[in-house]
Amino acid sequence: MMPSPADLSYFAEVATTLNVSRAAERLGISQPSLSLAMQRLEDSVGTPLLVRSKRGVTLTPAGRQLLAHAKQLMQAWDDVKAGALASQHEIQGSYSIGCHPSMGMNLLAHIIPALMKQHPKLDFRLRHDISRKVAEDVVSMKTDIGIVVNPVQHPDLVIHTLATDEVTLWVKDKARDIPDVLICDPDLLQTQGIMKKLKKAGVTFSRTLTCSSLEVIGDLTAHGGGTGIMPARVAARTKHKMQRVEKAPVFHDEHCLIYRVENKNIKTMQAINSAIRAFFAA
């Protein structure tokens, strides 16, 4: 069990006065409360720290050793508290942002460098995964901020809608026929939903090329490599134009900013969130 900062400060006062009654008076607490605090500290350390007598107290060898480090420990705690308070009221610290790699390519380069230049004490850790895993990491506090697609409502999360998109089938621009090769990321819920609708409609492909990068799917599709399943935003970013497959199933996406509700008043979180929302509003 870690000793509390209060118990350490009480111990330092007892070690200075070598008298529990006098230390309690100077600390403004009752003698029984101070004695209980010293007992807690000894239990935490695992050995006696004080030898009590009618004349007062003396320090054991372990007590002298603890006293030598107590001020250093209390200073470290003061520094930790100051840092924690600063993170609440100042734009600084290290924060993690999670999103799908495709979302990161379109977003992070527009906001991260500007925020780091404006706030020299602000650092970032970037995490990339599919949206449902990013959301799980935000809920479990492994990631501070998530930019995700179609998040499930959760009591611990604040969710802001940023934009909408449509996932459907795409082919090379001016393609006369739909290529018989399907290019997709089978791990995405959007892909799974569209493939179920295709199967139900009796639409099949002779071969399937799987890929975890939406950008690569877009590039392959734009060069005539097959029929790609991707969001309209990704299709619009490819160097070569593409066209939608007429009457193909459509999966409607909602891009959202998520973070834990207890972080909503932290100034740094507010600055990062504002930058993200401003980018999508532009």
Q: How sure is the predictor about 93, in pLDDT bands with cuts at 50, 70 and 90? A: confident
User: In terms of domains, do 51 and 178 share one?
Assistant: no
- 3: pLDDT strictly greater than 80: no
Measured CA to CA in angstroms, residue 221 lies from 164, 218, 238, 246, 272 at distances of 22, 5, 10, 16, 35
Across residues 2-14, what is the average pLDDT? 85
pLDDT of residue 90: 79
CATH number, domain of 62, equals 1.10.10.10
User: In terms of domains, do 37 and 112 share one?
Assistant: no
User: In terms of domains, do 74 and 112 share one?
Assistant: no
Q: How sure is the predictor about 86, in pLDDT bands with cuts at 50, 70 and 90? A: low
User: In terms of domains, do 70 and 105 share one?
Assistant: no
- Whether 238 and 219 have beta carbons less than 8 Å apart is answered as yes
Total domains in the chain come to: 2
**Neighbouring C-alpha atoms within 13 Å toward the C-beta of 89:** 5
Across residues 137-152, what is the average pLDDT? 95
- pLDDT, tens only, 161-173: 999 999 999 999 9
User: In terms of domains, do 85 and 143 share one?
Assistant: no
Cα separation, 72 vs 65, whole angstroms:
12
User: In terms of domains, do 102 and 81 share one?
Assistant: no
User: In terms of domains, do 28 and 144 share one?
Assistant: no
Q: Tokens for 135, please give them.
A: 């959301």
Cα separation, 273 vs 163, whole angstroms:
14
Where is pLDDT greater, at 76 or 245?
245
Boundary residue ending a domain (89, 104, 131): 89
The DSSP code sequence of 165-185 is: EEEEEEEETT-SS--SEEEE-
Cα separation, 59 vs 27, whole angstroms:
19
pLDDT of residue 85: 63
User: In terms of domains, do 146 and 275 share one?
Assistant: yes
- 143: pLDDT strictly greater than 80: yes
Q: How sure is the predictor about 132, in pLDDT bands with cuts at 50, 70 and 90? A: very high
Across residues 12-16, what is the average pLDDT? 90
What sign results for the dihedral spanned by CA atoms 31, 37, 40, 41?
negative
- 8: pLDDT strictly greater than 70: yes
Boundary residue ending a domain (89, 124, 158): 89
User: In terms of domains, do 260 and 153 share one?
Assistant: yes
Cα separation, 67 vs 58, whole angstroms:
12
pLDDT of residue 255: 95
Buried b (16+ CB within 10 A) or exposed e, 128-153: bbbbbbbbbbbbeeebbbbbbbebee
Boundary residue ending a domain (68, 89, 110): 89
- 121: pLDDT strictly greater than 70: yes
Least confident of 61-65, 76-80, 81-85, 99-103: 81-85
- 87: pLDDT strictly greater than 80: no
* Angle (nearest 5°) at CA 55 between 53 and 59: 60
Domain span including residue 203? 94-282
Q: How many CB atoms lie within 10 A of CB 33?
A: 12
Where is pLDDT greater, at 103 or 213?
213
User: In terms of domains, do 83 and 113 share one?
Assistant: no
Q: How sure is the predictor about 176, in pLDDT bands with cuts at 50, 70 and 90? A: confident
CATH number, domain of 104, equals 3.40.190.290
Average pLDDT, rounded, for the chain? 91
133 CA to centre of own chain:
11
User: In terms of domains, do 68 and 198 share one?
Assistant: no
- 2: pLDDT strictly greater than 80: no
What sign results for the dihedral spanned by CA atoms 68, 74, 77, 83?
negative
User: In terms of domains, do 128 and 260 share one?
Assistant: yes
Written as one letter, the residue type at 110 is H
- Whether 206 and 255 have beta carbons less than 8 Å apart is answered as no
- The proportion of the chain whose per-residue pLDDT surpasses 70, expressed as a percent, equals 96
- Whether 176 and 209 have beta carbons less than 8 Å apart is answered as no
pLDDT of residue 77: 74
- pLDDT, tens only, 187-215: 999 999 999 999 999 999 999 999 999 99
